[in-house]
Amino acid sequence: MEMEKLVSLCKRRGFLFQSSEIYGGINGFWDYGPLGVELKRNIKAAWWKDMVTAHDELEAANGAPSTHEMTGLDCTIIMHPQVWKCSGHFDLFCDLMVDCKETNKRYRFDQVRGRWAAAKGKRIFVTTVAEIDEEEAELTRRAMKAFKLRAKDADQLTWDGEAVSLDTLDDTSEVLAPDAKEVGTLTDPREFNLMFKTIVGAMGTEEDASFLRPETAQGIFVNFKNVVDSTRVKIPFGIAQIGKSFRNEITPRNFTFRSREFEQMEIEFFCHPDTSADWYKYWRDRRFAWYQELGLAGQRLQLRDHEPDELSHYSTGTADIEYAFPFLPAGEYGELEGIAHRGDFDLRSHMEGKLDPNSCPLEVERNEKGKPKYKGSGRDLTYRDPVSNEKFTPHVIEPSAGADRATLAFLCEAYTEDEQPDEKGEMQSRVVMKFHPRIAPIKAAVFPLVKKDGMPEIAKDIYRALKKEFPAFYDEGGAVGRRYRRQDEVGTPYCITVDGETLTNQTVTIRDRDTLEQWRVKIDDVVEEISGRVS
C-alpha cells in the first residue's frame, strides 16, 4: 500500500487533519476528524476494557501467573518539577541535534545519513534525512554542485561505500548538510531536552518553570501509595492510565507516527520481586496477543526482545511490539509499544532521589558535596504484604503503548483495494477499510433502496434504534452500489437495506463488508444481530 493513498483517504473521509491547517499547519501536531475520533476512542476503549475492567475474564486463558487486580488513574499533565528531576527526564531525556548555519534547519544527529562522494581529489560526505535510495538522483545533483562539476563531467564523480549515519563519522569530516549547497555548515551535535517547558502562575520566573509530561507513567508512580491506601488493591496489581503526552521531537515525521503531542496507554504493574520475571513474560505475550486479536494478525506485526546488552542493569527484560509501517523501508519495523521490566527503579527514585540508571547496584547520584543530586519525596513507597507481613519495594512491569501509533497501524492494516461485481455484474474497483468490527468508527449503515413507498421511514426507524447502541449512519442518496462503496471506504462492517420485500415480510438485508455475503433478518432483530457482531 502506498502511504499517500492512506493519507489522502484520511483527509478526504475525515479521519485525520493537519492541526491548524488553514494557517499552514504546525509540524508534529494532528487533529482527529469525525471518523478518526471514533476509531481512536474505540481503540482506547478496547484497551481499557481488555486490560482493566474485564481483564480477569481473560487472565486464566492468557496464562497469567496468578489472579491480579487492575485499576485506573487520570493524572495531570503538569506535575511538580521535582518529578522530572527524580525520574531522570530533566537530565537525560535528550536527543542530540545538529543545526545547519546555511539553511537554519535542525536535524536529529542520528537521522542524518549519507554517503561519501569523491571528485577533483576531494571527498565530501553528502547527507539527507530521507531514504538514500529514493534520494540518489538528488544527492548526485547536490554533490555535483558542491564539487562545481558540470553535467558533462558527471563521470568524474564517484561514490564510496554504503550509506551510514552522520553520528558514525569523526568530527573532521567534510559534510554537505541535508538541504545545504555549501560544505561544512553543520554545527557540532548538541543535547536538546525533549520536554516542553511552561511557566506556572503569574510571576513568570524560571523558578515557576514546569514541564508538560513526556509520559503518563510518572503520574502513576507518584500516586502508588495513594492507590494502595485508598483502595483494597493488593500486590500483584496494575494501574492503567490513558492520556496526552508531549515531546518536542526534533524531527516529527511519518504522519502521526512521531508527533509532538500524542496519547499514551500505559500500565504500571506492581509485583513482588520474586515473581516479576513471570509477570514480565505474561505482559509481553498478552500485549502482543491484544494487537493480533484486533486485527494486526499478519507478518507485519512482530515482537522483538531487546538484546541483553541493550538492557538497563535493573531490567531483566524489555521487548518492543513493532509494526512494518508502509512508510518504512522494506524489512524495517516501527515501535508500537514497549514492555519493560523496570525493577524497583522508579519507586526508589521517588523515595530517595534521582538514581543513576547506569550504576550497579543502584546508587543515588550525588553532587560534589556527596549529597543526593535531587532529593526524592522522602515518602515511604514500599509495600507491606497483608498476609506475610513482608515489607518490600515492588518491582514494576510497564507495558507502554501509543494510542496514535496503534490507530495508525490499524489504519494501515485496514487499507485494502479489491474488485467486486456491481449490481449489473460489472467489476468495480473499491477501497475498503477492513477494520475489526470492535474498532470500526461506524458499526452499521442503513439505506432505503428507493426514496418512496415508505422505505425511508422504515430505514430511519432502524437507524434510530441502532444509534442508541453505537454509531450508525443513514444514507438515501444515489445508487445503492455507490452507497455500499462509500461505507466500504470508511470501514463500516454492516450495511442494512430496506427493499420491496421489507414491505411484505418485515425483513431487511444485511451485507457483510468483507465477504459481501447478504442475508435477511427481521426488522425487530436487527439491533441484536449487529450488536452481537460488533462487540
Q: Which residues bind ligand GAP (CB under 6 A)?
A: 215, 217, 247, 249, 258-259, 262, 264, 266, 335-338, 398, 400-402, 404-405
CB of 330 to ligand GAP, least distance (A): 22
Task: Report the residue number, 250 or 446, with the smaller CB distance to ligand GAP.
Answer: 250
Q: CA-CA distance, 115 to 128, in Å (whole number)?
A: 9
Closest CA to 367 of 80, 91, 83: 91
Instruction: Kindly report each contact of residues 60-66 with a partner whose C-beta sits within 8 Å and lies 24 or more positions away, as own/partner.
Output: 62/282, 62/285, 62/286, 62/289, 63/282, 63/285, 63/286, 64/282, 64/286, 65/236, 65/275, 65/278, 65/279, 65/282, 66/236, 66/275
Distance CA 195, CA 206 (A): 15
Q: State the minimum distance, in angstroms, from the CB of residue 481 to ligand GAP.
A: 38
Q: How far is the CB of 281 from ligand GAP (least distance, A)?
A: 19
Least Cβ distance, residue 265 to ligand GAP (angstroms): 9
Cα 387–392–395 angle (5° rounding)? 110
SS3 290: helix
Q: How far is the CB of 316 from ligand GAP (least distance, A)?
A: 17
Report the alpha-carbon distance of residue 39 to residue 493 in Å, rounded. 13
Instruction: Tell me how far, at minimum, the Cβ of 73 lies from ligand GAP, in Å.
Output: 14
Taking the least distance from each CB to ligand GAP, the nearer of 119 and 319 is: 319
Q: Which amino acid is at 532?
A: G
Please identify, using beta-carbon distances, which residue of 259 and 315 lies nearer to ligand GAP: 259
Taking CB positions, which residue lies at the least distance from ligand GAP? Answer: 402
106-123 b/e with 16+ CB inside 10 Å = b? ebbbebbbbbbbebeeee
Q: What is the 3-state secondary structure (H, E, C) of 383-451?
A: EECCCCCCEECCEEEEEEEEHHHHHHHHHHHHEEEEEEECCCCCEEEEEEECCCCCCCCCCEEEEECCC
CA distance 209 to 178: 35
Closest CB to ligand GAP among residues 262, 470: 262
Output the smallest distance, CB 262 to ligand GAP, in A: 4
Long-range contacts of 196-203 (CB under 8 A, 24+ apart): 196/246, 196/247, 196/248, 196/260, 198/78, 200/78
Residue 270 or 484 having the CB closest to ligand GAP: 270
Return the number of the residue (295 or 402) whose C-beta is nearest ligand GAP: 402
Query: Measured from the CB atom, is 125 or 221 closer to ligand GAP?
Result: 221
Q: How far is the CB of 395 from ligand GAP (least distance, A)?
A: 16
* Cβ nearer to ligand GAP, comparing 284 with 443: 284
Residue type, 185: T
What's the closest the beta carbon of residue 48 comes to ligand GAP, in angstroms? 16
Q: How far apart are CA 3 and CA 408, in angstroms?
A: 11
Q: Which residue, 39 or 117, has its beta carbon nearer to ligand GAP?
A: 39
